[in-house]
Amino acid sequence: MKYIIVTGGVMSGLGKGITTASVGRNLKNNGYKITAIKIDPYINIDAGTMSPYQHGEVYVLKDGGEVDLDLGNYERFLDTELTREHNLTTGKIYQSVISKERRGDYLGKTVQIIPHITNEIKDRIRRIAAKSGADVCMIEVGGTVGDIESMPFLEAVRQMHREEEDNVTFIHVTLVPLDAQGDQKTKPTQHSVKELRQLGLYPDVIVARCKEPLLEGTRSKISLFCDVPTEAVVSAHDANDIYEVPLTLEKQGLTTYLMNKLGFSPKARDTAWSDMIKRMNNTKGEVKLVIVGKYTHLEDSYLSISESLKHAAIECGCNFTTTWVNSETFDNDPSLVNTLSGYDGILVPGGFGERGVEGKILAIQYAREHDIPYLGLCLGMQLSVIEFARNVVGLEGANSTEFDENTAYPVIDILPEQENVVDMGATMRLGDYEAILSIGSLAERIYGTTTIVERHRHRYEVNPNFIDRIESEGMIFSGKNHNRMEIAEIPENSFFFASQFHPEFRSRPGNPSPPFRSFMEAMLQRNKHR
């Protein structure tokens, strides 16, 4: 097994995740099987209880693991499916070591960071990598070099390099800023590498994040001061789109350099990724959509949705523009909902909590009454049911017990088997679940089959006691998992589709999520008529 370990310096948010995913993608294009691990130094067990404001979206894996959004990038770039094991956190490591100590597994020894914590980290990395059957395991160490939280992980990978030097390669991502005169400055990179070397880690490759391509003089200076070959100093300048980053790295010879270092021989090259980029850059026409959410000031909160829309647009050969609207805007002034008339589609994403809910309901009502293509995801489906129950079925005050425990019409509720559970995660339906689709429904036409598997992250469900009354008025539940409603649609509308699951988590470049693709097609149709 070969390991490529990606660290970062100077500041967070430089793009270690995209670098990791891009390097992995290029190796995959050359015929090698790749897996990826994200190390998050925070003490949380996972990202499940973290606010989107803190860490961007919570990405859900097929086994229900709630993880950092970088694993979403790994899955999209590598076109693979990972599990919760692929996300290591300080919380997970310490929880495991403490459990072993309580069981007496350490035979009375004093339990310490070295060797017990570092051994646990190494054991997990090797076990996950071996289980994947991959040729290369990409490992991203979150945070920046010098963070106290990262120290045990950096020490563990230092030991791995010592134990199997030929199998471990280090990539260090750092910043090359511009000064007031527009000159590229290498000092932050020099200091970052110096700090890395003080920890016993020596970068084999330096990926320099910069606004414009690295000048040759800058590249040579970094090579000299940081003791890496010139060809191993790679410019990761700003790209028009993150999917172009693999090609940027490839053109500079990074893949060839890494393959030589890893002892890999060239294989027949897969051009699917570069073909997809050509289609992406050769689109025509444009649709306008609006996303009405509650975390809209931080777009990373909806990263997978943004990427899924992009995948759909590439497939449909069009461009799109997104307007982000905080649903509380409509709470405060309901008349502003009329501004939605200027869009080709309305999307209401998931979320938790009461804030902004009524504004989302107003947006859904507007989409339904004005026959604007509508896509509702998770909470967006639940609120579609509430809106329909209130304004069509006539159940005045219908609501979810999440927002009103005493509502007379709890059309959204926690099902009995989920009650009286204290653990925040235990009441959630997480990960892959099957749904059976109704023959002849919009859902069946979208998916082209009657059985699908999609990922979930929610606690409340459509209350089965109200299904007959709702369906008698024209909203149908065309996807079901036993007594759980998975899809709601309104056949009399041109496109009104809402899912309890999150189809965005399985969307891939070159293979878009079916609901997103059909939503994009419906928006194109409306745009043409307008």
CA dihedral (253, 258, 264, 268) positive or negative:
negative
Q: Which of 312, 307, 269, 257 is nearest to 287 (CA)?
A: 312
What is the spatial distance between Cα 522 and Cα 526, in angstroms, rounded to a whole number?
Answer: 6
What is the spatial distance between Cα 78 and Cα 371, in angstroms, rounded to a whole number?
Answer: 38
Of the residues 378, 402, 456, 489, only one is catalytic, namely: 378
- The two counts, helices (H) then strands (E), for the chain are 18, 21
Of the residues 250, 387, 486, 504, only one is catalytic, namely: 504
CB 19 within 8 A of CB 75: no
| Catalytic residue status for 116 | no
Amino acid at 460: Y
Of the residues 461, 489, 502, 521, only one is catalytic, namely: 502
Q: Are strands 461-462 and 410-413 parallel, antiparallel or unpaired?
A: antiparallel
116: left (phi over 0), alpha (psi -120 to 50) or beta: alpha
What is the spatial distance between Cα 235 and Cα 308, in angstroms, rounded to a whole number?
Answer: 28
Q: How far, in Å, are 5, 251, 304, 390, 420 from residue 244 at the CA level? A: 22, 11, 17, 47, 48
Beta strands in 335-459 (DSSP E): 345-348, 374-377, 399-400, 410-413, 429-437, 451-458
What is the spatial distance between Cα 523 and Cα 530, in angstroms, rounded to a whole number?
Answer: 10
234 three-class SS: strand
| Catalytic residue status for 315 | no
CA angle 214, 217, 221 (to 5 degrees): 95
CB 516 within 8 A of CB 524: no
Chain-centroid distance of CA 451 in Å reads 25
| Catalytic residue status for 165 | no
CA dihedral (275, 281, 284, 290) positive or negative:
positive
CA angle 477, 482, 487 (to 5 degrees): 25
Amino acid at 352: F
Helix or strand (DSSP H, E) at 312: helix 303-316
What is the spatial distance between Cα 462 and Cα 262, in angstroms, rounded to a whole number?
Answer: 52
**Which amino acids are annotated catalytic?**
378, 502, 504
